[in-house]
Structure 1
Amino acid sequence: MGELVSPPLPTADQTRAWGARLGRLLRAGDLVVLTGGLGAGKTTLTQGIAEGLGVRGPITSPTFVIARVHPSLVGGPDLVHVDAYRLGGFAELDDLDLDTALEDSVTVVEWGHGLAEDLTDDRLEVTLQGEETRTASVAVHGDRWASDHLDHLGVLTEPGLGTLTEPS
């Protein structure tokens, strides 16, 4: 497997633009787990993913409703946007029945590290770091993102958009 590291993302617009590029690579059945502290840009990145997918917005943090479904406007997969911050464990995440929508949608789970991995073996784990200038690292897991699919992630290696590296 490989890992992608974004370039510096000093503004919300650049974070959204990078997310849009990632969103254009996603397809039905994909799971994206977002990790990062408060204010790290998880919802901003999801806004970009939503733009790349062509789904109906607005995309806001689903902290209090836990999950929102954003239907596709272009005949692609819907976006299921989950905020697992308030969930007490996998059992509560499982109660959302995300696995029923997982096949037909792109699912993005904020605060999902340690919870959402049991939903599927195929996933991207995106970690956002940095305060004034953030970066995103993307770890790939499962057959969907096996080495023959990493070229598709390589689209993100356009000038100024990050590079693929092998994990150390």
Structure 2
Amino acid sequence: MTSAQLTITGPDAMQDLGRRLAKMLRPGDLVLLSGPLGAGKTTLARGLGETLGVRGAVTSPTFVIARVHPSLGDGPPLVHVDAYRLGGLDEMEDLDLDVSLPESVVIVEWGEGKVEELSEDRLHVVIGRAEGDETVENDVREVTVVGVGPRWAATDLSPLAG
């Protein structure tokens, strides 16, 4: 396992983290985003989609559960999933993410404990509010990025620090 710890100071910095992360991704990559409501998961996904060059605005897929953003160029499509309202693996399987995964970058918000079986290789991005200040107004986030599996074992995640 490889990991990186970052302090993100606002929405623009979170979107920029998504841009840096996108440069490390390739088709078949699974990214799990964890954190409380309003932590910046969708903001990070927006930066990722921007750099991947996908069609459509990357917005929270809460009410549609999953949204596919085709590539506007020769990059992979982005599959953006919000697993918050899904009960478990059975409901996740109904989305057929295993079919999309080989040729896409799949990002799953609230996917912890629900999608790990899709791939032994994944990035887990955990976003939390800065310790000591739990107020919504505080834009400072502590982000931990953990690479799991052979794909990420030798990958240097330090470029994510900017």
Q: Same fold by TM-score, threshold 0.5 exceeded?
A: yes
RMSD: 1.1
The 1-side partners of 2:72 and 2:117 are apart by: 29
The 1-side partners of 2:30 and 2:20 are apart by: 16
Cα distance per residue 1:82-119 (max 9 Å; x no partner): 00000000110011000000000000000000001011
Which runs of 4 or more aligned residues in structure 1 lie more than 2 Å from their structure 2 counterparts after TM superposition?
153-157
Q: Is 1:3 matched up with 2:3?
A: yes
The 2-side partners of 1:101 and 1:68 are apart by: 12
Structure 1, unpaired ranges of 5+: 162-168
Aligned to 1:45: 44
Structure 2, unpaired ranges of 5+: none
Opposite residue 154 of structure 1, the aligned amino acid is: S
The 1-side partners of 2:115 and 2:145 are apart by: 15
The 1-side partners of 2:52 and 2:78 are apart by: 8
Q: Is 1:115 matched up with 2:114?
A: yes
SS at match of 1:75: coil
Taking every aligned residue pair, what percent have the same amino acid on both sides? 55
Opposite residue 145 of structure 1, the aligned amino acid is: W
The 2-side partners of 1:25 and 1:72 are apart by: 16
Cα distance per residue 1:117-163 (max 9 Å; x no partner): 0111000000001152112111111111112xx23x33224xxx3xx
Aligned to 2:98: 99
The 2-side partners of 1:105 and 1:47 are apart by: 16
The 2-side partners of 1:47 and 1:96 are apart by: 21
Deviation at 1:52, TM superposition (A): 2.0
Q: How many residues align?
A: 154
TM-score normalised by length of structure 1: 0.88
The 1-side partners of 2:56 and 2:141 are apart by: 24
